[in-house]
C-alpha cells in the first residue's frame, strides 16, 4: 500500500513510487471516486492513441462512406 499526504491547503502529494506505477506526469489529471469509506483513485494521465488499440471489441461490420452519408442525411431530415 502506498500512502499519500494531504496538505493544509488541500493538495494531495502522490509519492514518486505511485506516480511511476501510474505513469503520471506534472499536469496530468487523476479522477478520484469514493466507494463507501474508501477512496479509489483512477489515473487519467496521458495516453497515446496507439495505446488504446484493441481496447474495445466490435463484431460490427465496417462502415462505408455511403453508410455515413446516408445516416447524416437521415438525421438531418428526421428519418
Residues 18-72: tens digit of each pLDDT: 888 888 888 888 878 787 787 777 766 665 666 556 655 655 667 788 888 888 8
Among 27, 28, 55, 26, residue whose Cα is nearest residue 43: 28
- Please count the CA atoms within 13 angstroms of the CA of 60 that sit on its side-chain side: 6
Quote the pTM value.
Answer: 0.45
- Identify any residues that bridge with 27 across adjacent strands, giving them in sequence order: none
* pLDDT, position 37: 80
* pLDDT, position 61: 65
Burial 3-25 (b: 16+ CB within 10 A, else e): eeeeeeeeeeebeeebbeebebe
According to DSSP H, which parts of 1-79 are helical?
16-22, 65-77
Domain spans in the chain, listed from the N-terminal domain onward: 5-77
Amino acid at each position: 500500500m502506498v500512502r499519500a499526504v494531504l496538505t493544509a491547503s488541500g493538495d494531495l502529494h502522490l509519492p514518486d513510487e505511485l506516480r511511476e506505477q501510474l505513469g503520471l506526469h506534472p499536469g496530468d489529471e487523476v479522477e478520484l471516486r469514493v466507494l463507501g469509506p474508501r477512496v479509489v483513485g483512477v489515473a487519467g494521465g496521458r495516453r497515446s492513441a496507439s495505446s488504446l488499440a484493441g481496447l474495445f471489441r466490435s463484431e460490427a461490420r465496417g462502415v462505408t462512406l455511403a453508410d455515413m452519408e446516408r445516416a447524416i442525411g437521415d438525421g438531418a431530415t428526421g428519418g
